[in-house]
Structure 1
Amino acid sequence: MNITKDLVPSIAYQVRTQEGVLVDEAPVNQPLEYLHGHNNLVEGLEKALEGKAVGDVFEVRVKPEEGYGEYNDNMVQRVPKDVFMGVDELEVVCVLLRTRI
């Protein structure tokens, strides 16, 4: 069965920075399920998943205009550290998409 609109596929994926640092993942034993064709993922990823089948392995590079847009320093929101009470360590990450279904 191929991924089409209104299907709920399960995808295992890894998100890495341009330097290859792993910043997010849904492993095979805990895949992400989503409703396809309803803008639940960024446009570029959803387009790349369209028509894929169980067992397909591929890499996706989402262009800014099909993701979250170009970086805009004016859109960065500074949040005081004390807002995160009980969190010992925070780190900044960059998110790119790589998907395996």
Structure 2
Amino acid sequence: MSIKDGDTIKIDYTGKLDDGSVFDSSEKHGEPLEFTVGEGQVISGFEEAVRGMDEGDEKEFRIEPSEAYGEYNENLSQQVPKDAIQANMDIQEGMMILVRTPDGREMPAKVTRMGDEEITLDMNHPLAGKALNFNIKIVEA
């Protein structure tokens, strides 16, 4: 019976960027990915790809940024005063930190530049603006 919304499935997968580098895989996590189709637990392009497949099926597909983590948004990269960041943190360029938004939420940000008085934080998802290429196998449907 073909996979449809509401089905809970398990898949083995490998995700690669266009340059061939692996950004994620079920092997890395030591077990298949389990999710319920149609509940928004994975990116929309991924859900669309598994609909209609059957247990044991394998497939390769590409998800454009608009169906994955969105396009890169320059407005999500901002300079902030160094003293706005907790003083007890040893902040280094390239590291991920949690920042508190004005409404009290916390979100991850990558430190992209360290200046004398300011640091630049990028709050885009690390995969924003990137096409994602997957090879999947339905392990259980």
User: Shorter-chain-normalised TM-score: which range?
Assistant: 0.7 to 0.9
The answer (yes or no) to whether the contact 2:14–2:134 under 8 Å persists in 1 is: yes
2:53 aligned partner:
52
Question: Which structure carries more strand by proportion?
Answer: 2
Query: 1:1-101, aligned counterparts within 5 Å?
Result: 1-27=1-27, 30-76=31-77, 80-81=91-92, 94=127, 96-100=132-136, 101=138
What TM-score does the superposition give when structure 2 sets the normalisation length? Answer: 0.55
* Counterpart residue identity of residue 15, structure 1: G
Distance 2:133 2:41 in 1: 14
Point out where structure 2 has 5 or more consecutive residues left out of the alignment. 80-84, 86-90, 98-125
What SS does structure 2 have at the residue aligned with 1:41?
coil
| Structure 2 CA distance for partners of 1:83 and 1:75, relative to 1, 3 Å | closer
The answer (yes or no) to whether the contact 2:18–2:133 under 8 Å persists in 1 is: no
What TM-score does the superposition give when structure 1 sets the normalisation length? Answer: 0.74
What SS does structure 1 have at the residue aligned with 2:61?
coil
1:90 aligned partner:
none
* Counterpart residue identity of residue 25, structure 1: S
Q: Which has the higher contact order (CA 8 A, sep 6+)?
A: 1
Question: RMSD of the alignment, in Å?
Answer: 2.6
The answer (yes or no) to whether the contact 1:45–1:97 under 8 Å persists in 2 is: no
| Structure 2 CA distance for partners of 1:69 and 1:83, relative to 1, 3 Å | closer
CA offsets 1:25-77 (integer angstroms, 9 cap, x no match): 003x6100001111111111111111111111111211222111111232247
Q: State the shift of 1:83 in Å.
A: 6.8
Point out where structure 1 has 5 or more consecutive residues left out of the alignment. 85-92
The answer (yes or no) to whether the contact 1:44–1:66 under 8 Å persists in 2 is: yes
| Structure 2 CA distance for partners of 1:44 and 1:77, relative to 1, 3 Å | farther
How many residue pairs are counted as aligned between the two chains? 92
